[in-house]
Chains A and B, each alone.
Chain A
């Protein structure tokens, strides 16, 4: 046995020490992110739940109440913190903007992948990247100066409301949904198309009956992603929706969303007060919805993977 060599080989080298250090440091960085996520969930939940545990507001009343007036107590001696107007406002703008954006997004995605890949790459790809890059306050500002007056002159009223919010969100989620749909269509194998075309199908028949079917899970994911973005968007919507905490009764009357009430309200309330806690409950609703969107995307992904 070679003792000197054995000793040299058993000694921990500088490389071994660096390896241990590096692995630990990078692991800690990763853990920092993970812990932050759990911290966000825990903190927002504990603040948001205190409306129900400290202020004893009934959860059902909270979710179904139609009046949002945290400073006023109602006939039952409870503060008026019904969030139905905001929740319905959020859902209505989200669903409407998704309905509006879907045909445009999928149409453009088909154009980019199936009809004219060259122009898709040269013109539409940069267009979509630029649309993603425009900050949301700029969308809000344009909504305020262009969309709201346009809605006002066509439909009357103040112009602020669900419709203006829908238009702004439509443009904002369009690039996200489009680029994810493009990915979904690109992942459909080439031979699917070739097989259909070889059977004598027209290009549109091939797209409609073969390519779109195969890409359905991916495109559903894209739409849900767009909806998650629309649901969580704050400032652009807040600038055009009118900020009246009323149940929306028409598309052109002022309304509000969870995010719009949060952004305008949190600065004007005192920490720990019921008014403030109620706003944190709104944030919690927003957080839970975001988790639900995440879950839905995951379920679609799993189902898509199974059907393949």
Chain B
């Protein structure tokens, strides 16, 4: 009998795919889940079958080589791909499918916030960066705004650095400070979930360290999903990790499992540093 090299039933013990349901391993309820998620750019399919479940108050990391679709997947979760790509399938946020046209995408994004690869503070003062979205939502009480600014900046661990220059332009901050300001800005609107798209890729090691500390503190209040190309980072901060390759989530498990005993051969090769 000929042995097909791409056969799923390989004899060496590797699985073709291994997706774990986190509710079996953790007490936390599932807040976000995707079913049959597929993303198309024109006729090209960038993501197929991204079926994952994310537990509350945990950090889940999405890793994989560049072009594996992890960022596309993340950006589909709060529909930042609307108008850019076509996304089919279900995105269940606390049981409600938000990937439907009748869902108010703005209210949904308020609850599922996002921080981007490059820090993108608005060219306004630090104070206005934080309060901007609140004011647009009709909150004008100075006391409430002041309080939100302080708590958000404290939560993002940047309060001590900027408390004396709240009226200075946000663009005058360093890259690392700008990124933490962007996190503060995102949590100022009191989201439920925070999506982070390689938030440390433009930062130096010291700023990255501070950012990671911040995320670990934030997880008691928020559910965090982070895309990273830095495996050590995923290992340091995340509770669950998903490995993406060629537009598919191949493996999803507790982070310790992924890094010590992956079940899929490609995951093993990737975390061992063989490609990526």
Contact = CB atoms under 8 A, between A and B. Distances in A.
A–B contact at 8 Å CB threshold (below): yes
Interface in A1-38: 1-2, 5-6, 8-16, 19
A8 B107 contact: yes
A12 B104 contact: yes
Contacts of A12: 104
Contact of B104 (A1, A2, A13): A13
B104 A9 contact: yes
Given A14-B137, A14-B138, A2 B107 contact: no
A2 B137 contact: no
B106 interface: yes
A2 to B, nearest CB: 5
Interface string B82-93: 000000000001
A104 to B, nearest CB: 42
Contacts of B107: 8-9, 11, 13, 15
Select the residue from A9, A11, A15 with max chain B CB neighbours within 10 A. Answer: A9
Interface string A172-213: 000000000000000000000000000000000000000000
Contacts of A9: 93, 96, 98, 103-104, 107-108
Interface string A248-290: 0000000000000000000000000000000000000000000
Contact of B106 (A2, A6, A10, A13): A13
B94 interface: yes
A10 B95 contact: no
Given A14-B137, A14-B138, A1 B106 contact: no
Interface in B83-127: 93-96, 98, 102-108
A24 B102 CA distance: 20
Contacts of A8: 107
Contacts of A6: 96
Contacts of B105: 16
A5 B94 contact: yes
A5 B106 CA distance: 14
A16 B137 CA distance: 12
B138 A1 contact: no
B56 to A, nearest CB: 13
A259 to B, nearest CB: 46
A9 B94 CA distance: 11
A1 B93 CA distance: 10
B20 to A, nearest CB: 24
Interface in B60-101: 93-96, 98
A17 to B, nearest CB: 10
B95 A15 contact: no
B95 A11 contact: no
A6 B100 CA distance: 12
Contacts of B103: 9-10
A5 B98 CA distance: 11
B35 to A, nearest CB: 14
B106 A15 contact: yes
Contacts of B136: 15
Contacts of B98: 9
Nearest to A12: B104
Contacts of A16: 104-106
B137 A1 contact: no
A10 B138 contact: no
Contact of A11 (B94, B96, B104): B104
Contacts of B137: 14
Nearest to B192: A5
A17 B196 CA distance: 28
Nearest to B138: A14
B96 A2 contact: yes
B104 A10 contact: yes
Nearest to B106: A15
Nearest to B95: A2
Contacts of A13: 104, 106-107
Contacts of A11: 104, 107
Interface string B160-190: 0000000000000000000000000000000
A5 B32 CA distance: 13
Interface string B232-276: 000000000000000000000000000000000000000000000
Contact of A2 (B94, B102, B108, B138): B94
A5 B104 contact: no
17 contacts: A1-B96, A2-B95, A2-B96, A5-B93, A9-B96, A9-B98, A9-B103, A9-B104, A9-B108, A10-B103, A10-B104, A11-B104, A11-B107, A13-B104, A14-B137, A15-B107, A16-B104
Given A5-B93, A13-B107, A15-B104, 5 more contacts: A2-B95, A2-B96, A9-B93, A10-B104, A12-B104
Closest 9 CB pairs of A and B: A15-B106, A2-B95, A6-B96, A13-B107, A13-B104, A13-B106, A2-B94, A1-B95, A9-B103
